[in-house]
Amino acid sequence: MKRKIRMGMVGGGRGAFIGAVHRMAAAIDGEIELVCGAFSSNPKKSKLSGADLYLPKDRVYGSYEEMIKKEAELPLGERMDFISIVTPNHMHFGPAKMALENGFHVVCDKPLTFNMKEAKALQRLVEKTGLIFALTHNYTGYPMVKQAKSMIAKNKIGKIRKVVVEYPQGWLSTFVEGTDSKQAAWRTDPKRSGIAGAMGDIGTHAENLAEYVTGLKIKKMCADLSILVDGRKLDDDGNVLLEFDNGAKGILSASQIAAGEENNLRIRIYGEKAGLDWRQMEPNTLIVRWLDKSTEIMRTGVGNLSAEAQAHTRLPGGHPEGYLEAFANIYRNFAKCVQARLENKKPNKVYTDFPTVADGVRGMQFIQKVVASSKSKSKWTKM
């Protein structure tokens, strides 16, 4: 019999941002229930967080190791089916590895790991275990991103010539890591974040979005990463020239010192016949600019959109779907795949559309190459 899929969470205790996002995203569609968690490396804090979430005390753990061990001892259907990892980057690999080794599926926040070595090890483990692994590159979950992808796949805009993907934020315009901001602290700390700052945190979203939507691969790049706030240890701004494997040119830009910008991820793709334009802050709109006719405004839930767009839409047109709904699309699809696995069925193809460990490895490679390119005196670095 079908049932809700059972989630255990690693990280995301009081004061965390992304943990709450994952919980809301997982809850929206009624396919997943939170059954346990190790919400903090501080056991007391973990307990308090678990109580906030109405979890029974015996399912709130002091560490992920404890959680995975204890849960693995519970019977199937009572124990968690998967873990959701919402810790800083340097704390992804440990719980992911142990979960996989103990037979649990995994949802992991991005970027995949702290470094490339961990990323590849994780990829091998996923392949070996055959377990289901989702990476929350949430921006690809928006219906109009699916619409753009399917239009390109169907050659509606012709051969792609140019891609401009930009991700400006302004919240690191001052030396925030000198205040008590947890979010800023770990993101600007090479020991927790890895070799890249803005490029790892949001540049990878831009890279993932560009490759997902276009179906192209970045072939080479020329990067210029900067630290523009005094005292900072990792890049807070980066601009990258791109060449894609079909010969298309592009620009990728990510900044956390773009003063006054909120979270303004945007992608423009120019083909031979039309240009597409999508902006995360107005996500239910996809602009299609045709060569010799009026611009078309496609809207979530309106008219004859692609099957993929429709399958990731919950509401009629004009009822705005937002960040959480896009995020929820990853969880919904993941849950449906786990459910199919429980029933020994093949999942509906539409549900297999979520970022995987391979996307995570690709992102880690992007980080590595973009940092190398920035240090290089040569113009181009191969991806």
Q: Which of residues 258-297 bind a copy of itself (CB under 8 A)?
A: 258-264, 268, 270-275, 280-283, 288-297
**Could you say which residues in the range 74-113 bind a copy of itself, by CB under 8 A?**
none
Query: Is residue 323 a contact point for a copy of itself (CB under 8 A)?
Result: yes
In whole angstroms, the minimum distance from the beta carbon of 338 to a copy of itself comes to: 14
Distance CA 305, CA 13 (A): 39
Per DSSP, which regions of 59-104 are E strands?
82-85
Task: Considering only the stretches 63-71, 81-89, 101-109, 250-258, report the one whose residues sit in contact with a copy of itself under the rule CB under 8 A.
Answer: 250-258
Query: Is residue 179 a contact point for a copy of itself (CB under 8 A)?
Result: no
Task: Considering only the stretches 103-111, 160-168, 188-196, 360-368, report the one whose residues sit in contact with a copy of itself under the rule CB under 8 A.
Answer: 160-168
Query: Is residue 218 a contact point for a copy of itself (CB under 8 A)?
Result: no
Nearer to a copy of itself, 109 or 166 (CB): 166
292 Cβ partners below 8 Å, 6+ apart? none
Task: Considering only the stretches 80-88, 118-126, 148-156, 157-165, report the one whose residues sit in contact with a copy of itself under the rule CB under 8 A.
Answer: 157-165
Nearer to a copy of itself, 60 or 119 (CB): 60
Which residue is listed with tokens 């790049």?
221
Residue 381 structure tokens: 């670095």
CB 45 within 8 Å of CB 23: no
Nearer to a copy of itself, 78 or 272 (CB): 272
Residue 196 structure tokens: 């890249």
Phi and psi angles of residue 348, each rounded to the nearest 5 degrees, phi first: -50, 135
Nearer to a copy of itself, 108 or 229 (CB): 229
In our burial notation (b when 16+ CB lie closer than 10 A, e otherwise), range 79-97 reads bbbbbbbbbbbbbbbbbbb
Task: Considering only the stretches 64-72, 163-171, 184-192, 330-338, report the one whose residues sit in contact with a copy of itself under the rule CB under 8 A.
Answer: 163-171
Nearer to a copy of itself, 97 or 219 (CB): 219
Work out whether the CA dihedral 297, 302, 304, 306 comes out positive or negative. Answer: positive
In whole angstroms, the minimum distance from the beta carbon of 295 to a copy of itself comes to: 4
CB 248 within 8 Å of CB 160: yes
In whole angstroms, the minimum distance from the beta carbon of 315 to a copy of itself comes to: 6
Distance CA 19, CA 11 (A): 7
One character per residue 16-55, x = contact with a copy of itself (rule: CB under 8 A): -x--xx-xx--xxxx---x----------------x-xx-
- How far, in Å, are 213, 223, 229, 331 from residue 188 at the CA level? 29, 19, 11, 28
In whole angstroms, the minimum distance from the beta carbon of 71 to a copy of itself comes to: 20
In whole angstroms, the minimum distance from the beta carbon of 257 to a copy of itself comes to: 6
In whole angstroms, the minimum distance from the beta carbon of 269 to a copy of itself comes to: 9
Query: Is residue 161 a contact point for a copy of itself (CB under 8 A)?
Result: yes
First CA to last CA across the chain, in angstroms?
46
**Could you say which residues in the range 220-249 bind a copy of itself, by CB under 8 A?**
222, 224, 226, 228, 237, 239, 241, 243, 249
In whole angstroms, the minimum distance from the beta carbon of 191 to a copy of itself comes to: 24
Query: Is residue 130 a contact point for a copy of itself (CB under 8 A)?
Result: no
Other CB atoms closer than 10 Å to residue 57's CB: what's the count? 8
Q: Is 316 exposed, middle or buried (0-12, 13-18, 19+ CB in 10 A)?
A: exposed
Beta-ladder partners of 241? 222, 251
Nearer to a copy of itself, 108 or 328 (CB): 328
> Which DSSP state fits 179?
T
**Could you say which residues in the range 352-381 bind a copy of itself, by CB under 8 A?**
376-380
DSSP β-ladder status, 218-226 and 160-168: unpaired
127 Cβ partners below 8 Å, 6+ apart? none
Nearer to a copy of itself, 125 or 328 (CB): 328
Nearer to a copy of itself, 238 or 363 (CB): 238
